[in-house]
Amino acid sequence: MSNKYREFDINFGLEGRTALITGAAAGIGQAIAVMYAKKGADIICFDLHEAPETREAVEKCGRKFLQITADITRDEDIKNAVKTSIEEFGKIDILVNCAGIGILEKIEEVRDEVWQKTLDINLTGSFKMTREVGKEMLKAGGGKIVCIASQGGVVALDRHVAYGCTKAAIIQLVKQCALEWARYNINVNAISPTIVMTALGEMNWNNEAGEAFKKTIPARRFGYPEEVAACAVFLASDAASLINGANIVLDGGFTIG
Ligand SMILES: NC(=O)c1ccc[n+]([C@@H]2O[C@H](COP(=O)([O-])OP(=O)(O)OC[C@H]3O[C@@H](n4cnc5c(N)ncnc54)[C@H](O)[C@@H]3O)[C@@H](O)[C@H]2O)c1
């Protein structure tokens, strides 16, 4: 007997899907947008900055690209982005919450504005975007939500107090959303990478501390944006429909124990 849960595309294709990706102008978000387009998805890029490189790569795959230059800390920007996306594409099948910042400071030196900004972007922004896109997915009868958390949300890391607290909260956010929405065919999961070689990763770790850190990772290396993108493709595909509220660590074994 035919059963959609058994007869999915084993190549994890995303043909005909529309994916809204925050932070898709650079780094991990950009790699996810490009790999999703290669898998057949149209892309909505929500970012503070224009994304000409992402646009070019997506359009080269023959997929549609919509730029929404906006700030995840502004409620109006989130609401307008969802409205525009629905007007343009009729649906949002996949949401990737990737926009984020990481400013490393010792606890006793953390500035209030850094603490607040990190919470506003990494946590509150992801929550509000999830809430607004989630309403559309509930109406449409399903969807996939992928949140980029971090190994810093799983274990404590030196100078990561603001960042680590937001990422631990994201891991809880996906559990909460999965609990309430799994029955409506919405899958919500997190990916927690180790240090990834992007502008953000290089700013903090392309130095002596980075070399020392690598020695503590069982795989003895950092990650690449494409490795995170591959995991995000799987989680957005029909093959991952039974994965709910999970946090997939992509850390070369760093958080094993
Ligand atoms: N690079 C790493 O080592 C690493 C490791 C683990 C997790 N992560 C997470 O992955 C995500 C992406 O990181 P990255 O390394 O690609 O960073 P990045 O700095 O290369 O890219 C982040 C993108 O987010 C956008 N952005 C930032 N603030 C925004 C805002 N207020 N509104 C809209 N867009 C905004 C930026 O413009 C940028 O395009 C982040 O959530 C980060 O915490 C990164």
The residue to which tokens 């099948």 are assigned = 93
**Domains and their CATH numbers in the chain:** 18-250 (3.40.50.720)
Return the H-helix or E-strand segment holding 144.
strand 143-148
Q: Look up residue 221 and give its DSSP letter.
A: S
Calpha distance 241→185 (Å, rounded): 8
In angstroms, what is the span from residue 29 Cα to ligand 1's centroid? Answer: 7
CA nearest ligand 1 atom 41, residue: 100
116 neighbors 161 (Cβ within 8 angstroms): no
> What per-residue confidence (pLDDT) applies to 148?
98
Q: Could you report the per-residue pLDDT of 193-241, keeping only the tens digit for each?
A: 999 999 889 988 999 999 999 999 999 999 999 999 999 999 999 999 9
Q: How confident is the model at residue 4 (pLDDT cuts 50, 70, 90)?
A: confident
In angstroms, what is the span from residue 7 Cα to ligand 1's centroid? Answer: 35
Rg (CA), the chain: 18
Q: Cβ atoms within 10 A of the Cβ of 4, count?
A: 8
The whole-model pTM stands at: 0.98
Active site residue 184: no
Is residue 29 in contact with ligand 1, taking CB distance under 6 Å? yes
Q: Name the phi and psi angles at 78, rounded to 5.
A: -65, -50
Over residues 146-157, the mean pLDDT reads 98
Residue 1 has pLDDT above 70, yes or no: no
Is residue 156 in contact with ligand 1, taking CB distance under 6 Å? no
Q: Could you report the per-residue pLDDT of 169-197, keeping only the tens digit for each?
A: 999 999 999 999 999 999 999 999 999 99
Is residue 196 in contact with ligand 1, taking CB distance under 6 Å? yes
Calpha distance 159→109 (Å, rounded): 9
Q: How confident is the model at residue 34 (pLDDT cuts 50, 70, 90)?
A: very high
**Burial profile 110-125: b = 16 or more Cβ within 10 angstroms, e = fewer:** beeebbeebbbbbbbb
CA nearest ligand 1 atom 14, residue: 27
